[in-house]
Amino acid sequence: MPQKLIKLKVIGISYSQTQSGAYALILGEENGDRRIPIIIGGFEAQAIVIKLENLEPPRPLTHDLFKSFADACGVNVDHILINKLREGIFFSQIICTGSLSDFTIDSRTSDAVALALRFGCPIYIVPSILEEAGIVMTASPEEDPENKSQPQSLIEEPTSFQSGEYEDYTDDELNELLTDAVTREDYEQAAAIRDEIERRKK
């Protein structure tokens, strides 16, 4: 793998302000200030959030099934590469290693990231793409009243789902709500409840 590639980390998921039912996946430069917002669908956002929040679905999702299938076949995902940007759409590759041969699979970036989280592998991007689409975050929305540090047409502040509505619940009630949300496979609500539980532990 060329050393010039830039390593990214998953910052979080936010609601898209321009597309109903869509979300923005925020990837950040590991050793820098630039971030990449990528619009993704609700299913893909759910698949990413449940890993970020360490939730256990009662049934395996598609990306979990892919991971189990790959494990059974002796295949590992070595890393993810965001390698193209065309008309605002990001393209990625899943670089795999196996007992018989190594191979590469073309993928949507949202699916690639969901798999990267499950395999615990790094995410890289071609430098020219980061230079073209990267956004330098110089201030938070609270510090920047005009919000110039982020593209308002694309994203809100890149944080996990808000949990303020659960502040009045007791710890026992929150745990019951979390169990119920996971059972119903409502991972967006489960993530918000988990955020409140984690906030109380700090």
Q: Is this model's pTM higher than 0.75 or not? A: no
Structural domain contains residue 65:
yes
Do 91 and 187 belong to one domain?
A: no
Q: What is the pLDDT of residue 37?
A: 87
pLDDT for 56 beyond 90: no
Structural domain contains residue 145:
yes
Tokens of 9: 């980390």
Residue from 10, 177, 185 nearest 197 by CA: 177
Structural domain contains residue 139:
yes
Residue from 6, 8, 48 nearest 24 by CA: 48
Residue with more model confidence, 177 or 137? 177
Q: What is the pLDDT of residue 2?
A: 47
Structural domain contains residue 89:
yes
Residue with more model confidence, 46 or 125? 125
Do 125 and 145 belong to one domain?
A: yes
Residues 6+ apart with CB under 8 A from 191: 49, 50, 52, 53, 55, 160, 161
Amino acid identity for residue 185 in this structure? E
For residue 176, name the pLDDT band (cuts at 50, 70, 90). Answer: confident
Q: How far is it, in rounded angstroms, from Cα 172 to Cα 12?
A: 27
For residue 28, name the pLDDT band (cuts at 50, 70, 90). Answer: very high
Do 149 and 181 belong to one domain?
A: no
Structural domain contains residue 19:
yes
Do 152 and 125 belong to one domain?
A: yes
For residue 172, name the pLDDT band (cuts at 50, 70, 90). Answer: confident
Q: What is the CATH number of the domain that holds 108?
A: 3.10.690.10
Q: How far is it, in rounded angstroms, from Cα 50 to Cα 187?
A: 6
Domain that holds residue 118: 6-160
Q: How many domains does the chain have?
A: 2
pLDDT in tens, 181-201: 777 766 667 767 777 787 787
Q: What is the pLDDT of residue 154?
A: 31
Q: What is the pLDDT of residue 138?
A: 54
Do 190 and 155 belong to one domain?
A: no
Tell how far CA 139 is from the center of its chain: 22
Structural domain contains residue 1:
no
Do 11 and 80 belong to one domain?
A: yes
